[in-house]
Each structure stands twice: as structure tokens, then as C-alpha cells.
């Protein structure tokens, strides 16, 4: 569990990063370099460097307990992508 902050925007961002990474259980599975790519540009850069997407979470589908989307992100930023480069 992550520590809550008085900054609500911080809490929203780190809650999605924590929950998606926790579900993947990456560090018990692989030796890897991991990136939480939150925007289209960082995802494009990571792809060009050989990282691949393990999980993609569209912002429009990431909702609070009442079913309301947590983030209203302008295009071209559509999703959080958990991207990795496996280390041999």
C-alpha cells in the first residue's frame, strides 16, 4: 500500500501506478528494466529503445469506486503502459 499525500493529484497518479505494477508481480518473475510510461511520447520513446508493453490501462477505463473515470487526459495521451526490457 502506498502512503497517502495531501495532494489529491499525487494520490491518483501513484494509486494507478502502484495497483497496475502490484498486479503484474514483475520483480518476482523477471530481471528487467521497467518504465511506467504515462503518455504517448514516452511510450513511443520506450518502444524505439526496445521496451515492450506488458500492460496497457486506458485512462477512460480506470474508474473510482463509483465508476467515474479518475483521469481526464487530453489526446494523444490515452493510457498508462507498463513497459519492460528484459535483462538476460
Tell me the CB-side half-sphere exposure of residue 34, using CA atoms within 13 A.
19
Please write the tens of the pLDDT for every residue from 26-44: 767 778 899 999 999 999 9
Say whether 69 sits in a helix, a strand or coil.
strand
pLDDT for the residue 13: 86
* Position with higher pLDDT, 67 vs 23: 67
* Full-model pTM: 0.77
**pLDDT band per the 50, 70, 90 thresholds, residue 3:** low
DSSP H or E segment with residue 63: none
Domains of the chain, first to last: 8-86 (3.40.630.30)
pLDDT at residue 86 is higher than 80: yes
Amino acid at each position: 500500500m502506498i502512503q497517502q499525500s495531501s495532494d489529491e493529484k499525487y494520490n491518483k497518479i501513484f494509486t494507478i501506478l502502484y495497483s497496475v505494477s502490484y498486479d503484474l508481480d514483475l520483480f518476482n518473475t523477471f530481471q528487467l528494466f521497467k518504465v511506467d510510461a504515462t503518455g504517448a511520447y514516452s511510450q513511443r520513446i520506450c518502444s524505439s529503445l526496445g521496451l515492450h508493453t506488458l500492460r496497457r490501462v486506458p485512462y477512460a477505463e480506470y474508474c473510482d469506486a463509483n465508476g467515474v473515470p479518475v483521469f481526464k487526459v487530453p489526446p494523444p495521451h490515452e493510457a498508462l503502459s507498463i513497459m519492460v526490457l528484459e535483462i538476460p
